[in-house]
């Protein structure tokens, strides 16, 4: 690592120039080292902004914390703009407590800090809090923009809250905000996740600008409800309209095949990816095929496909095979699959529960006891789960924590 000591003769302008040069050339860590070894010499706000933005882009929370600490140490008074930069850094790296403290320090908030907090809550799975924050934003007199609506629709989809989703959709229609493809696809996904398929199709049909993202949202929506005829039909419509499917589209189609146990169709679309579109199957495609074959009892074929997969070191694929072995009570394959399953991410408590339940179904009580003892020895603890309940007029979302 190169070191750039800050001499007494070096001007503040040269220091700023060096910091920006290091930052723009991808040497962010060296730039932060130089910043923190720069005595008490001041740095321009624009330089702090460049450094923090690079930390945001690279998701470098540790380096961002060092910059923040430096600002505090030298007594640099961060304005609303830099405070918002820091807020975005913490929110995008799941430190929502610090992000909220910074949010409260911005007296005149525009949409950026609000959107950062809303998307941060969603990223961490706190969709109910994201909705409450959205309503606080509305109550403050600030109107949402495209980023806000995309986040809110995503939260409503995960909560399966049709009432909140329709409210946000009405707000979008009444506003002067022009929806884009990201907002449109999030809106379609929300309606399908909330089991309002007619509304989802209506939104799609009303789009003047469609692309593979919106088509995939539609196909995925029907697949989630097991409507494979619509999945195949819309897939053909997409092709006929001149759109090229991507790996997400194929993942949605394969998932629909798996839900309905359509092995022949699954193999067709799995091979179509490479044969017609030169798309190399990814881990999720192999996992879906293993799940599809396993559901129908083709455990040997699923195992062989898994061994041929370049993603055979992905634990989720082995987990799919474990689930299939449990379903069909194949003891030998279960032992083989569970051994490979444990070799990958051995500290994941959920894996032990999955395999323990499989052993219990086969009345393999000694193996169940051994697994529980292993969990205790390793000190592995399960994360709490969450449930959500809407009360009253659906304007309030409450959560209960529970152990699963």
Using one digit for the tens of pLDDT, what is the confidence trace for 125-144? Answer: 999 999 999 999 999 999 99
Residue 8 banded pLDDT, cuts 50, 70, 90: very low
The angle at the Cα of 283, spanning 310 to 379, to the nearest 5 degrees, equals 100
Q: Any idea which of 76-85, 194-203, 331-340, 370-379 has the lowest mean pLDDT?
A: 370-379
> According to the model, what pLDDT value does residue 334 have?
84
- 401: three-class secondary structure by DSSP: strand
More confident residue, 369 or 294: 294
404: pLDDT strictly greater than 50? no
- Do 388 and 399 touch, CB atoms closer than 8 A? yes
Length of the chain: 404
> According to the model, what pLDDT value does residue 197 have?
97
Q: How many CB atoms lie within 10 A of CB 76?
A: 15
266: pLDDT strictly greater than 80? yes
Q: Any idea which of 52-56, 251-255, 355-359 has the lowest mean pLDDT?
A: 355-359
Measured distance CA(381)–CA(360) in Å, rounded:
20
More confident residue, 12 or 388: 12
Share of the chain above pLDDT 70, in %: 87
- Do 240 and 209 touch, CB atoms closer than 8 A? no
Measured distance CA(195)–CA(161) in Å, rounded:
10
Q: What is the mean pLDDT of residues 37-45?
A: 75
70-102 pLDDT, tens digit each: 888 888 888 899 999 999 999 999 999 999 999
More confident residue, 360 or 306: 306
Partnered with residue 385 across adjacent β-strands are 402
> According to the model, what pLDDT value does residue 78 have?
86
Question: What is the CB-side half-sphere exposure of residue 215 using CA atoms within 13 A?
Answer: 25
Q: Is 379 left (phi over 0), alpha (psi -120 to 50) or beta?
A: left
> According to the model, what pLDDT value does residue 4 have?
46
Mean pLDDT, the chain, whole residue set: 86
311-364 pLDDT, tens digit each: 988 888 888 888 888 888 888 888 888 888 877 766 666 667 777 777 787 777
> According to the model, what pLDDT value does residue 179 have?
81
> According to the model, what pLDDT value does residue 403 have?
33
- Do 253 and 292 touch, CB atoms closer than 8 A? no
How far, CA to CA in Å, does 182 sit from each of 5, 40, 127, 200, 327? 46, 45, 18, 14, 38
Residue 388 banded pLDDT, cuts 50, 70, 90: low
117: pLDDT strictly greater than 90? yes
Q: What is the mean pLDDT of residues 99-118?
A: 94
How far, CA to CA in Å, does 10 sit from each of 4, 20, 21, 65? 11, 15, 15, 26
> According to the model, what pLDDT value does residue 326 have?
85
> According to the model, what pLDDT value does residue 400 have?
42
């Amino acid at each position: 690592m190169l070191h750039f000591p800050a001499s007494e003769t070096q001007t503040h302008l040269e220091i700023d120039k060096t910091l920006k040069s290091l930052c723009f050339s991808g040497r962010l860590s060296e730039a932060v080292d130089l910043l923190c070894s720069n005595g008490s010499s001041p740095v321009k706000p624009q330089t702090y902004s460049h450094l923090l933005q690079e930390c945001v882009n690279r998701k470098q929370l540790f380096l961002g914390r060092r910059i923040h600490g430096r600002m505090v140490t030298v007594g640099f008074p961060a304005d609303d703009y830099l405070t918002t930069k820091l807020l975005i850094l913490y929110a995008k790296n799941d430190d929502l407590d610090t992000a909220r403290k910074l949010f409260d320090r911005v007296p005149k908030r525009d949409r950026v800090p609000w959107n950062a907090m809303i998307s941060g809550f969603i990223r961490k799975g706190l969709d109910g809090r994201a909705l409450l924050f959205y309503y606080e934003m509305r109550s403050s007199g600030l109107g949402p923009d495209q980023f806000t609506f995309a986040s809110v629709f995503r939260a409503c989809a995960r909560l399966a809250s049709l009432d909140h989703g329709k409210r946000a959709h009405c707000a979008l229609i009444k506003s002067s905000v022009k929806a884009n493809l990201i907002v449109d696809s999030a809106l379609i996904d929300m309606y399908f996740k909330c089991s309002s398929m007619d509304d989802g199709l209506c939104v799609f049909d009303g789009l003047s600008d469609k692309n593979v993202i919106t088509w995939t949202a539609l196909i995925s929506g029907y697949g989630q409800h097991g409507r494979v005829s619509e999945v195949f039909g819309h897939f053909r419509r997409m092709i006929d309209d001149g759109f090229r499917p991507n790996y997400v589209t194929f993942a949605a189609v394969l998932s629909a095949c798996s839900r309905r146990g359509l092995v022949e169709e699954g193999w067709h679309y799995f091979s179509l990816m490479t044969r017609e579109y030169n798309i190399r199957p990814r881990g999720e495609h192999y996992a879906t095929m293993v799940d599809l074959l396993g559901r129908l009892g083709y455990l040997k074929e699923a195992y062989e496909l898994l061994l041929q997969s370049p993603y055979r070191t992905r634990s989720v694929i082995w987990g799919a095979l474990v689930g299939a072995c449990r379903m069909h009570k194949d003891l030998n394959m279960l032992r083989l699959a569970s051994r490979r399953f444990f070799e990958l991410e051995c500290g994941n408590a959920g894996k032990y529960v999955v395999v323990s339940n499989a052993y219990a179904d086969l009345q393999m009580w000694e193996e169940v006891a051994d697994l529980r003892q292993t969990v205790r020895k390793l000190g592995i603890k399960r994360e709490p789960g969450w449930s959500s309940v809407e009360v009253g007029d659906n304007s309030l979302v409450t959560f209960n924590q529970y152990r699963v």
